[in-house]
Amino acid sequence: MSIDPILTASPAEGQPGANTRKVFIKTYGCQMNVYDSVRMGDALASEGYVPTEQMEEADLIVLNTCHIREKAADKVYSALGRLREMKKARNAQGQELMIGVAGCVAQAEGEEILRREPSVDVVIGPQTYHRLPAALRRARLGDRIVDTDYAVEDKFEHLPAVESTRVRSRGVTSFLTVQEGCDKFCTFCVVPYTRGAEVSRPFRQIVVEAQRLVDAGVREITLLGQNVNAWRSEGPDGREWGLGDLLYKLAEIPGLARLRYTTSHPRDMDDRLIEAHRDLRELMPYLHLPVQSGSDRILKAMNRRHTAEEYLRLISRIRAVKPDMAMSGDFIVGFPGETEQDFADTLRIVEAVGYAQAFSFKYSTRPGTPGADLPGHVAEDVKAERLERLQSLLLKQQAEFAKSCVGKVIDLLLEKPGRMPGQLIGRSPWLQSVNVDAKPSQIGDIIPVRIIGTGPNSLFAEPVGASSAS
């Protein structure tokens, strides 16, 4: 799943002082990149870096990049061109500004970034960002560093432990990466080439980090992975555990009220994971399960290794044990060879599922992926027209789902202040943003509210008292 570029000012302890450096990290892409940026901030804290939300006052600027969107590398080089001028001005004043590029574009481009942009000091891949502090020390001595190897060591073992003071500054929800990489090799996707093969973090490592997050006040954890439901590890009983087993274990942590996970692949949705949705009240009834197309012919060309009918049967099995499950998905329009009939099949699967939320994009080639060499590329105007029709249907379904919530009493996790005085924003079990009148001291509480209205991108609610939500 992709989201718009966002700013992540990586938290760190301490107050700015004479020997303190400031870091600004700009995060592009998915939730995993958000998590990675936070963990880079944790690693840099040991070097005396504290976060800033003002790029102009930073001593270090890191672009944590994503390679999913079209022309991702071009956008990074454009941003680096602007940073080059900033660095020149800073150096002319006798001041230091270091520039780093991290993430998937760094992994894909490597040395080319240093060749094209002399202002860059460090290029570091998603598997080696635990080495960022050491790379910066070397760069400060005059070396220009590229570290995009797939690390032999476990980066999570080398990252500093999550400290309570930093976690508290982030809020009551947190991401936690449990799996990285992908072995599926969908023909449209660069992830296997930028993130590598599927790797699962060890069970005990995840439980320890989750416990530390909860001890610091986190109420909701979202488990992350490129194919999060492909997670496998030896469990405490010596047998191989899957994501369902992990969720059962995490649900035992006192104070952890909510669990989510993303992004899943239909092929890895096993019985134990479906049972977890049936049994665990902590596991929220919202599932992001991309299908990409409703045409079996296109699914085969994408190397998805499931059919539209198999996907629909899986949805039926999930809803049989969790009737209030809200579905989210991803769709690619205009994949090479897609005909009007193939697109009609996609519209049909959307109608059949009824999505509460979805992400849809025009197909764009990724150099080095098999899809780039397929015949029958669809004209841009045709892709645009089909995408408009698909998004119109998806937005209609999203609005209908939101309206169906009006009148319901739900449990709402209060996360942060709203735009209006006396208002807080929380998330519904179905991941919707909900506005409600409440006190700042209630942030972190889960309260029963009644949904009373809908907006373009959020819901409105009123408290209903101390009785438990239905």
- Cα angle: 420, vertex 421, 424; to 5 degrees: 70
Q: Is 135:182 a contact under the CB 8 Å cutoff?
A: no
% helix / strand / coil in the chain, to the nearest 5? 40, 25, 40
Which residues 6+ apart lie within 8 Å of 378 measured at CB?
334, 335, 336, 338, 363
**463/451 Cα distance (integer angstroms):** 9
Q: Is 459:428 a contact under the CB 8 Å cutoff?
A: yes
**170/266 Cα distance (integer angstroms):** 32
Give Cα separations from 219 to 258, 282, 409, 442 (angstroms): 6, 10, 20, 13
Phi, then psi, of 54 in degrees rounded to 5 = -110, 105
Distance, C-alpha 51 to centroid of its chain: 21
* Residue recorded with tokens 């519904």: 428
Phi, then psi, of 320 in degrees rounded to 5 = -65, -35
Question: Is 405 marked as a binding-site residue?
Answer: no
Question: Is 30 marked as a binding-site residue?
Answer: yes
Q: Is 305:266 a contact under the CB 8 Å cutoff?
A: no
**Residue 255: what residue type?**
G
Dihedral over Cα of 349, 351, 353, 355: its sign: positive
Q: Is 285:326 a contact under the CB 8 Å cutoff?
A: yes
Give Cα separations from 379 to 254, 276, 335, 384 (angstroms): 54, 44, 10, 9
Cis ω for the linkage preceding 263 (within 30 of 0) = yes
Phi, then psi, of 24 in degrees rounded to 5 = -120, 120
Instruction: Please tell me what DSSP assigns to residue 379.
Output: P
Question: Is 182 marked as a binding-site residue?
Answer: yes
Q: Is 276:283 a contact under the CB 8 Å cutoff?
A: yes
Which residues 6+ apart lie within 8 Å of 330 measured at CB?
1, 263, 288, 290, 291, 292, 358, 359, 360, 361
Give Cα separations from 463 to 219, 412, 436, 438, 451 (angstroms): 20, 10, 7, 8, 9
Binding-site positions read 30, 66, 104, 182, 186, 189
Binding-site positions for [4Fe-4S] cluster read 30, 66, 104, 182, 186, 189
